[in-house]
A and B are shown apart, each in its own frame.
Chain A
Amino acid sequence: MRRTPRDSAESVRKISRRGLILGGAQLGFAGILGLRMRFMQVDQADEFRLLAEENRINIRLIPPSRGQIFDRNGVVIAENAPSYRITMVREDAGNVEDVIARLSTLVELDEDELNRALTEMDRSAPFLPITVADRVSWEDISRVAVNAPALPGVTPEVGLSRFYPHHETFAHVVGYVGPVSERDLARYEDPEPVLRIPRFQIGKVGVEAKYEEQLRGDAGAKRVEVNAVGRVMRELDRREGDAGTDIQLTLDSGLQEYCKARLGQESASCVVMDLEHGDILAIASSPSYDPNKFVRGISVADYSVLRDNNHRPLASKTVQDAYPPGSTFKMICALAALESGIMSADDTAYCPGHLEVGSRRFHCWKRAGHGWVNLEESIRESCDVYYYELALKVGIERIAEMARRLGLGEAPDVPMSAVTAGLVPDKEWKLRERGASWLIGDSVNASIGQGFVLSSPLQQAIMTARIATGRNIGPRLVKRIDGVDTPSRGGESMGMNENHLRQVRKAMHAVSNNRRGTGYRSRIVSEGYEMAGKSGTSQVRNQVVRNEDVPWEQRDHALFVNFAPYNNPRIAVSVVVEHGGGGSAAAAPINRDVTLQALYGGTPPLEAYPSADRSRIKAQQERFAREREERLSNASSRA
């Protein structure tokens, strides 16, 4: 069919018109596209550039290395030891199962940890290294390194982890670190980003926790370029962080080791204080635990063993537990009486073995009675009735005030966890806390450190130190921090009459050195080293039964405090043996041994001991030396 010329012209005209309209519309739309490009790439370019940079640049924190902890002589207590682990990258490994199988012939792989690692590997990006074995030995690492060609994707890695080379010895003082938990994060309003680094460790208890800020240091940072799935392409720049501050404690690791060994398997605690600056030379709680187990995350089984032990290894008994001070409280009563002027050292009381107060009869520990006793004899032989009479005359308020002056009733200022204030009761306290008025019997009980009175072993040591020096000496646990000495806690004179103090000290000397003294059997015989002490027995039960006849949990706590040397006091020692029975029998020998060890700065000569004890002490010293050697050889094989 051939079109007429008119038709053709019509066709061309129409197509031209419509074609131009459409062409114009197309060009117009292209113009809009061009404007859009201009808007995005010119006007909004800076915003988009910023977004692109945010996409590609990640800031990664570099964990700071934690400050170390040393003892007073520079012996390391807490350090950062290299810890080896084996990681695996899925995409490099190829056949994961094959590689794992080959790896397990070289290194012992923990079944649970391996399963956890495999699930983690499945879930995370293929280029991320996943830890398949943690805390492996150097030998394992070298075996893996040597066989690297057969183990694609497997890398031995080294990191720093907290290590406590003395294991159990400092556990209760220094505490331990552990991975940051949700609870730790919740404690901070705005947690530092460094806390979110995987595996980052912070102090959980003890000095590690109390000095967390100083020990932690400041994190460094590096800027890395990442791709869309988070793989690091390259490092752009980095700023190294600042390592944490080193801390030197006042502790003497040798003495601390000795205390721990001497306490043995008893549920007991021991504090040794230096009397010049108030330095705590040793503060041991027994039994103990290995803080290294907590660093790596303690197993449920290990933890329940610790938790269910009735000797409470986890408890820091020196500061956290408060006991009735028993007869060690008598020095406080005596000083209160002397300082108030109500009694003098020569005043006597008659002890028939008991005292009637109101309708109640209070017994002396010695049923037969002590007869007429003066102050020195009352302390030397620990006569209870003397103090019943004293309390009736002096009153609880003066006794409580003296107790507070000597450091009881307030938490000692030491950077340890769960430090107890103990309890110094008075009339106001009883009304407030118990809603009852003070009874005369309460005063009588308090006079021999029973009833409501509570104090911790550390407070006992502080009390003894203050009596020995006349100064309000305080405990100092941190000697140097960041190379700067901390101020001395030697304290100033408490303003007590020196005569009164001397009379009490003389009485304490008699406890240890007079034939009739309760601590005579545990005396020191070497000249110039004599100790002055006081025993205490704090009742756990009410009925009067011999300790040997009741189960362990119901036996009395044995306490003993002392300072030495008597003529020139250098140290104060406080020992509590839980359920140990009488203080003079169970605790005093420990005081004596620890005192000698501290004064001699090592194993004392046998001549320092009464001749009757020497053969037994010799055997004990040999045993400790043997155990110490075993421990050292174990430690070196473990490291």
Chain B
Amino acid sequence: MSYLEYTVKTVPAGFRKVLYLNWPLVILLTAVAGVGFLMLYSVAGGSFSPWAEPQMKRYVLGLIAMFVVAMVPIWFWRNMAVVAYIVSVLLLVVVEFFGAVGMGAQRWIDLGFMRLQPSELMKVTMVMLLAAYYDWLPIKKTSRPLWVLLPVVLILLPTGLVLTQPDLGTALLLIIGGGLMMFIAGVHWAYFGMVIAAGSGFVAMVFRSRGTDWQMLKDYQFRRIDTFLDPSSDPLGAGYHITQAKIAMGSGGWTGRGFMQGTQSRLNFLPEKHTDFIFNTLAEEFGFVGAVSLLILYVLILVFCIFSALQNRDRFSSLLTLGIGLTFFLFFAVNMSMVMGLAPVVGVPLPLVSYGGSAMLVLMVAFGLVQSAHIHRPR
């Protein structure tokens, strides 16, 4: 592991780096965050407090963090990958520890100015670690069983910790994200075939375990799955949320009911309208046009990441950029599926739009890494 393999001379240095930033990406990110501010302003009944203003401050903070991270050479981050991963795991353990002592299912650590969710941090540091791992691992060994097993362990360790919080949504994202990282890195197809087969068997077993002594999911988790499969089975209980969310979404029509005119969100029929279900407010007030526009912004960010990765000949940078793009994709794809009734409600926020500090800050740092890889790519 050394930066010697980079052609250092061709890498911009000093303040010139700023010119080499992927500026379209910055603009896209700001546009998405702007949509978030607008919606948070709307769901607060036309007020910057309590959500829009802190969210804007955090975005500015995130933007600064992104620039700082981007200025640091990518090889530094590669060398930090193991440390970052270990710190994240430790933080997860700390949360678990404090949770056990005091406050029940505690998912965050209070840093004073914000609440840090280690599970959010984990999503990025795991991508970093896997990218560094496959950068270090000779390509020939990629598909050897022992070298496949190691990253699997590295993925399952934090996943297990997150599951005990319990946070099923994040755990699923970690597993899927990690698995797809291995796929990108070139692990043989056969492994994935086996995992999918085993996974299906596992899911079947989870369902079989329902109502037995060795039940593997909490009752509320089972009920959520039931409700997802048939929301009308429980129209006033858990199904109420998803039903109301779909009504909000669908009643938007082509162009929506107008800014701050969405009855479903304004009259509180829509649950969690400032976090997980903020997309429904957007869809209600700006209709199909607004919803698809946001989707296009997301896809553009994703496409920028993929292009940046494919242009980059550095293995770590490529893997990292693709992995972060993937993480970003999983965020918005799972959230949108969830609020449109395509997936069970698992509690995944809409990236950069939903109210919440950790996710936003972590994502901005992640995009800082993408920018760093972009700036410091071999030329």
Q: Which A positions have Cβ atoms within 8 angstroms of B? A: 1-3, 7-8, 10-12, 14-16, 18-20, 22-23, 26-27, 29-30, 33-34, 36-38, 40-42, 44-45, 47-49, 51-53, 55-56, 225-229, 233
Contacts and interface: CB of A to CB of B under 8 A. Distances in A.
Contact of B254 (A15, A34, A42): A42
Given A36-B340, A48-B247, A27 B299 contact: yes
Contacts of A19: 184, 306, 309-310, 318, 322
A14 B288 CA distance: 38
Given A30-B295, A38-B288, A15 B186 contact: yes
A8 B313 contact: yes
Contacts of B136: 1
A224 to B, nearest CB: 12
B249 A22 contact: no
- Majority secondary structure, B binding face: helix
Contacts of B283: 37, 41
B292 A37 contact: yes
20 contacts: A1-B1, A12-B313, A15-B310, A15-B318, A18-B183, A19-B318, A22-B184, A23-B306, A27-B299, A27-B302, A33-B337, A36-B340, A38-B288, A40-B340, A41-B291, A48-B251, A52-B251, A55-B267, A225-B263, A229-B268
Contacts of A51: 247, 250-251
B249 A48 contact: yes
Given A10-B139, A51-B251, A37 B310 contact: no
Given A2-B4, A56-B263, A227-B268, A41 B249 contact: yes
Contacts of B333: 26, 29-30, 33
Interface string B309-337: 11001010011001001100100010011
Residue of A2, A19, A53, A227 contacting most chain B CB atoms (<10 Å): A19
Which 4 A/B pairs are nearest by Cβ-Cβ distance?
A48-B250, A227-B267, A52-B251, A41-B288
Chain B interface size band reads 35 or more
Given A19-B318, A37-B292, A52 B309 contact: no
B250 A18 contact: no
Nearest to A12: B313
Nearest to A44: B250
A8 B316 CA distance: 11
Given A30-B299, A30-B333, A15 B309 contact: yes
Given A8-B313, A33-B295, A55 B184 contact: no
B159 interface: no
A45 to B, nearest CB: 4
B4 A14 contact: no
B206 interface: no
B128 interface: no
B246 interface: yes
Contacts of A18: 183-186
A129 B188 CA distance: 68
Nearest to B271: A228
Interface of B: 1-2, 4-5, 136, 138-139, 180, 183-186, 244, 246-254, 263-264, 266-269, 283, 287-288, 291-292, 295, 298-299, 302-303, 306, 309-310, 313, 315, 318-319, 322, 325-326, 329, 333, 336-337, 340, 342
A3 B306 contact: no
A29 B340 CA distance: 14
Given A30-B302, A40-B340, A55-B269, 14 more contacts: A15-B309, A15-B322, A18-B183, A19-B184, A19-B322, A22-B322, A26-B302, A29-B329, A33-B295, A37-B292, A41-B254, A45-B250, A45-B254, A55-B244
A44 B333 CA distance: 21
A229 B184 CA distance: 49
Nearest to B256: A41
A429 B15 CA distance: 120
A45 B322 contact: no
B268 A228 contact: yes
A225 B267 contact: yes
A8 B4 CA distance: 15
A33 B342 CA distance: 9
B374 to A, nearest CB: 15
B288 A49 contact: no
B295 A34 contact: yes
B186 A52 contact: no
A66 B295 CA distance: 59
A7 B298 contact: no
A52 B264 contact: yes
A37 to B, nearest CB: 5
A12 B318 CA distance: 8
Contact of A37 (B183, B266, B295, B299): B295
Residue of B5, B250, B252, B291 contacting most chain A CB atoms (<10 Å): B250
Contacts of A56: 263-264, 267, 269
Contact of B340 (A16, A33, A45): A33
A44 B336 CA distance: 18
B320 to A, nearest CB: 11
Residue of A1, A22, A40 contacting most chain B CB atoms (<10 Å): A40
A41 B295 CA distance: 14
Contact of B246 (A8, A48, A228): A48
A41 B245 CA distance: 12
Contacts of B318: 11-12, 15, 19
Contacts of A49: 250-251, 253
Nearest to A2: B5
A3 B378 CA distance: 14
Contacts of B251: 45, 48-49, 51-52
A15 B315 contact: yes
Contacts of B288: 37-38, 41-42
B306 A7 contact: no
Nearest to A49: B251
A289 to B, nearest CB: 46
Nearest to B329: A26
Contacts of B326: 22, 26
Contacts of B5: 2-3
